[in-house]
Amino acid sequence: MSTERAFDGLHVVVTGGTGALGRAVVDAFVAAGAICHVPHRGAAPADMKASEQLRLVGGVELSDEARVARFYADLPGLWASVHAAGGFAMAPALATSLADLRAQLDQNLVSAFLCSREAARRMGAAGGRVVNVASRAGVDIDGGKLAYTIAKAGVVALTRALAAELGPAVLVNAILPSTIDTAANRAAMPSADRSRWSQPADIARAISWLSSPENANTTGALVPV
């Protein structure tokens, strides 16, 4: 289904919006008429310029409860919140420290929890859409990345629990990409078979539809891309 101009004048948050996946998501929303709010911790990329449709908000640590609450409370309105912020770490179980686990939980699960909660509070009875970026690793579990797997499995559970509690006003879904085809991943895995890697633009299209008014009743879905 087309989402062309489906977001005209609607306010949308995209966390991780300065990263490779997040920028594809922001581009899709802007093309569809949305006003995108992009929280970021450090400096925004030099080639990413604020505009009427792109509002960059610096100094937002997504694992800081008070700062996330202020960010959402200051929004002029909210239709959708997409949580593409996260991190990845490879390490076998016996080499994973508690600090490693906590870092992955903060980057992936805590950020998604805080942003989902505050987004739902901001939407209120008017309703809206929440989309979390989880991972195939959170459902098709193998070894070698224990902390990341636990964190993304938590995002899957978070999504299903919120969908059960917040519907039908707020619809909550998750995208499950495989390895995402980014410059960083290509550099890290130069000999990998990229034929089944997820393309940022494909993920962005799926997120756009799940976030749109055209999605009238899909909630609690875990969508592989």
Active site residues: 148
Q: Which pairs count as long-range contacts for 157-162, CB under 8 Å and 24+ apart, including other chains?
A: 158/109, 158/112, 158/113, 158/116, 158/132, 159/132, 159/134, 159/220, 159/222, 160/220, 160/222, 162/116, 162/120, 162/130
Residue 206, SS3?
helix
What is the C-alpha to C-alpha distance for residues 185 and 162, in angstroms, rounded to an integer? 31
Please name which of 141, 143, 144, 146 lies closest in space to residue 176, comparing C-alpha atoms: 141
Dig out the tokens for 159 from the structure: 């999504």
∠ Cα 45 37 101 (to 5°): 70
Q: How many CA atoms lie within 13 A of 204 on its CB side?
A: 21
